C-alpha cells in the first residue's frame, strides 16, 4: 500500500521535501507575533514550499533557540506523501480505512491470503518500547522550564496570545495501564500558553481527549497529558484522521509508516510518547480549574469568543538538543487544515460509498470551511433518490452533522467543478420543488449564522435530472459531440495549433 519510503521523523520528511525543491530556509529575522503567519499565508496561497524560519523573534525582541517549521502540509501532494502515497494512491488507502471501519470476514483460504498485506501492515503497527530517545536528550524542569521561550506564534491581531497549533495531544483513560497503547488517544487540539508552566487545553466534549479527561475527573484525579511537538508525518496525520474508536492513532501511525513506532516513557507523567519527536510538553490537566481560552482566529475566518477550558500544569519539557518547532495557522481557507481536509475527503469516499452505495463522487469545497457544503454525484435510478442521499449523509454519517447544505447532482456532473454545479442548478433544479429545508438540527457552535448556538437549519438541493413521478414533462436530451469528431478535431489542432490546451 505504501509507495514512498518511511518517514520515521519530521526531519526525514523535510529531507525528502528538500530533495524535491519543496523546502526553503528563511534566515531573516521574523517575529512570531503576526509576521510569521503573514509570510506563511502568502507562501501557502502560492502553493509554495515548506518553510524553516531560522531566526524567529519573540515578542520581547529576543531570538528563540528553536527554528520554526511551517507550511509542512501546504499542498495536497505533500499531505498524500505524508500518508506514504502519491495523490493517485489515495483510493487504495481509503479502501484500507473503510476495511478498518467495517471489516468483512474472509471467504475461504484464498481470500484470507489475498488480505495478507493488510494483516502484515496491522502487525507492523505494534509499537516498540525503548528506554532512551532523541526527544529526551534535554529535560527541562523547575526553573529551567519556560514555555514563553518557545517560538509559539500569535497569529492574528485579535488573538488573546500565543497558541500551539500543531500539537499531538496524547492521553489514556483512567484505569488503564501506561503500556496499553491501544487505549491511547492522540488528537490535535489548540493550546493557549498562559505562562512559563501553565496553559489551556481546548478540547471539545465529543473529542477523545475530553472523554479521557472526564474519566479521570470522575475519579477525582488530574489527567496525565503529553503534548508532542514536531512528530513524524504519519503520527501528525493519524492524529487528525477520523479513525474508529477501537484503533489507536499511535499504532495506526506505525501501519501508515510501514514500521513499528518507537515509544519511550515520559519523564514526569505515566504515558508513553513518540521517541523521535522534536519536543514533548508533559503535564497534568486539572479536573476542575478552567480559564478563559481565546478569542482566536478560527477556520471560519472569524474570531471565536473566549470560553472556559481546563488548565494544564506543565511539569517538564523534553526535547532534542537542536529542536525544531512545528507550527501552522488557522483562518479563512486556504489554510493547512483545509488542504488536509481536502485529501481526507478523498480518503473517506470508500467508507461513504460502503454506507450509501449510489454515491459516485463527493466534494466538500475548502472555501466553505471544508465541511459546511457538500456536493454529491449519484447514480440515479428512481424518484426521490436524491433526497434519500441527503438524509443518509446527515443521519447516517456523523461527519456530516455540521454540513448545512447538500447539493446532489447526476454522475455526469463533476462535483468539484463550480461551472458544472452552476449548470446543474440552473437547468435541473426548480426552487419550489427541489429544495428541502430542515430546522433545529445540530450545528457547529462556531457558525455565527445559526439562530441559536449549536442549532441551525439545513438545506438540501436536488439538482439531478427528474425522472418518473418527479416530473410530468419530457426532459431534454443532453448534447454531446460524437467521439469520432472530437478525436478528429484533436488530431487536426495538434498539428495546426500545437500549443492549444483543450
Instruction: Please state, as a whole number, how many other Cβ atoms lie within 10 Å of the Cβ of residue 414.
Output: 16
- State the Cα–Cα distance between residues 215 and 208, nearest whole angstrom: 11
DSSP 379-418: ---STTHHHHHHHHHHHH-GGGTT--EEEEEETTS-TT-H
User: How far from 424 is each of 247, 248, 413, CA to CA, in Å?
Assistant: 40, 42, 8
Instruction: Please state, as a whole number, how many other Cβ atoms lie within 10 Å of the Cβ of residue 35.
Output: 16
Q: How many helices (H) and strands (E) does the chain have?
A: 14, 25
List of residues 6+ apart from 349 with CB closer than 8 A: 91, 94, 359, 361, 362
The cell numbers describing 214, all together, are: 472526564
Direct distance between the N- and C-terminal alpha carbons of the chain, in angstroms, rounded to an integer: 34
Alpha helices (H) along 61-162: 76-82, 90-101, 108-114, 116-124
Overall size of the chain counted in residues = 502
Q: Is 298 one of the annotated active-site residues of the chain?
A: yes
- State the Cα–Cα distance between residues 68 and 328, nearest whole angstrom: 10
Task: Please give the distance of CA 3 from its chain centroid, rounded to a whole number.
Answer: 21
DSSP secondary structure letter of residue 54:
S
CB 331 within 8 A of CB 157: no
DSSP secondary structure letter of residue 202:
-
For helices 233-240 and 336-355, the axis angle rounded to 10 degrees is 60
CB 91 within 8 A of CB 106: no
The residue annotated as part of the active site, out of 159, 298, 444, 462, is: 298
- State the Cα–Cα distance between residues 51 and 80, nearest whole angstrom: 18
Which among 266, 319, 312 has a CA at the least distance from the CA of 293? 312
- State the Cα–Cα distance between residues 416 and 376, nearest whole angstrom: 9
In degrees, rounded to 5, the angle at the alpha carbon of residue 132 between the alpha carbons of residues 129 and 134 is: 110
The contacts found for 91-96 with CB under 8 angstroms, 24 or more apart, are 91/346, 91/349, 91/350, 92/1, 93/1, 93/347, 94/346, 94/347, 94/348, 94/349, 94/350, 94/351, 95/350, 96/1, 96/121
- Active site residue ranges: 298
Amino acid at each position: 500500500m505504501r509507495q514512498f519510503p518511511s518517514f520515521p521523523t519530521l526531519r526525514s520528511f523535510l529531507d525528502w521535501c528538500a530533495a524535491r525543491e519543496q523546502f526553503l530556509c528563511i534566515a531573516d529575522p521574523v517575529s512570531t507575533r503576526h509576521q510569521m503567519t503573514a509570510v506563511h499565508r502568502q507562501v501557502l496561497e502560492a502553493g509554495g514550499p515548506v518553510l524553516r524560519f531560522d531566526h524567529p523573534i519573540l515578542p520581547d525582541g529576543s531570538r528563540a533557540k528553536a527554528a520554526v517549521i511551517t507550511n509542512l502540509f501546504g499542498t495536497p501532494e505533500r499531505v498524500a506523501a505524508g500518508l506514504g502515497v502519491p495523490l493517485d494512491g489515495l483510493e487504495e488507502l481509503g479502501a484500507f480505512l473503510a476495511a478498518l471501519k467495517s471489516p468483512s470476514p474472509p471467504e475461504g483460504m484464498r481470500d484470507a491470503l489475498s488480505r495478507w498485506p493488510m494483516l502484515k501492515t496491522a502487525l507492523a503497527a505494534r509499537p516498540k518500547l525503548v528506554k532512551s530517545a532523541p526527544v529526551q536528550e534535554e529535560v527541562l524542569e523547575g526553573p529551567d522550564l519556560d514555555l514563553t521561550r518557545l517560538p509559539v506564534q500569535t497569529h492574528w491581531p485579535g488573538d488573546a496570545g500565543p497558541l500551539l497549533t500543531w500539537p499531538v495531544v496524547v492521553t489514556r483513560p483512567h484505569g488503564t495501564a501506561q503500556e496499553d497503547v491501544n487505549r491511547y488517544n492522540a488528537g490535535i487540539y489548540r493550546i493557549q500558553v498562559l505562562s512559563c508552566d501553565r496553559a489551556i487545553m481546548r478540547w471539545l466534549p465529543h473529542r477523545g481527549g475530553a472523554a479521557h479527561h472526564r474519566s479521570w475527573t470522575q475519579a477525582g484525579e488530574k489527567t496525565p497529558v503529553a503534548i508532542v511537538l514536531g512528530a513524524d508525518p504519519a503520527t501528525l496525520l493519524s492524529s487528525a484522521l477520523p479513525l474508529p474508536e477501537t484503533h489507536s492513532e499511535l499504532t495506526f501511525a506505525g501501519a501508515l509508516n510501514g514500521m513499528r513506532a518507537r515509544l519511550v516513557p515520559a519523564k514526569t507523567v505515566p504515558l508513553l510518547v513518540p521517541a523521535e519527536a522534536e519536543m514533548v510538553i508533559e503535564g497534568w490537566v486539572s479536573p476542575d480549574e478552567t480559564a478563559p481560552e481565546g478569542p482566536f482566529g478560527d477556520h471560519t475566518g472569524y474570531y471565536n469568543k473566549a470560553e472556559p477550558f481546563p488548565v494544564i500544569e506543565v511539569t517538564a519539557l523534553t526535547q532534542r538538543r537542536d529542536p525544531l518547532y512545528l507550527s501552522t495557522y488557522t483562518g479563512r481557507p486556504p489554510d493547512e487544515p483545509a488542504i488536509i481536509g481536502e485529501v481526507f475527503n478523498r480518503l473517506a469516499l470508500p467508507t461513504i460509498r460502503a454506507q450509501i452505495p449510489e454515491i459516485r463522487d463527493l466534494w466538500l469545497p475548502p472555501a466553505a470551511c471544508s465541511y459546511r457544503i457538500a456536493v454529491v454525484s449519484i447514480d440515479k435510478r428512481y424518484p426521490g433518490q436524491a433526497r434519500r442521499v441527503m438524509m443518509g449523509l446527515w443521519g447516517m454519517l456523523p461527519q456530516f452533522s455540521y454540513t448545512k447544505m447538500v447539493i446532489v447532482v447526476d454522475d455526469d456532473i463533476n462535483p468539484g467543478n463550480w461551472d458544472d454545479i452552476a449548470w446543474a442548478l440552473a437547468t435541473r433544479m426548480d426552487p419550489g420543488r427541489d429544495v428541502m429545508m430542515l430546522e433545529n438540527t445540530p450545528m457547529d457552535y462556531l457558525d455565527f449564522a445559526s439562530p441559536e448556538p449549536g442549532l441551525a437549519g439545513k438545506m438540501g438541493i436536488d439538482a439531478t435530472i427528474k425522472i418518473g413521478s418527479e416530473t410530468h414533462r419530457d426532459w431534454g436530451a443532453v448534447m454531446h459531440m460524437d467521439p469520432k469528431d472530437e478525436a478528429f478535431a484533436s488530431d487536426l489542432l495538434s498539428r495546426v495549433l500545437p500549443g492549444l490546451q483543450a
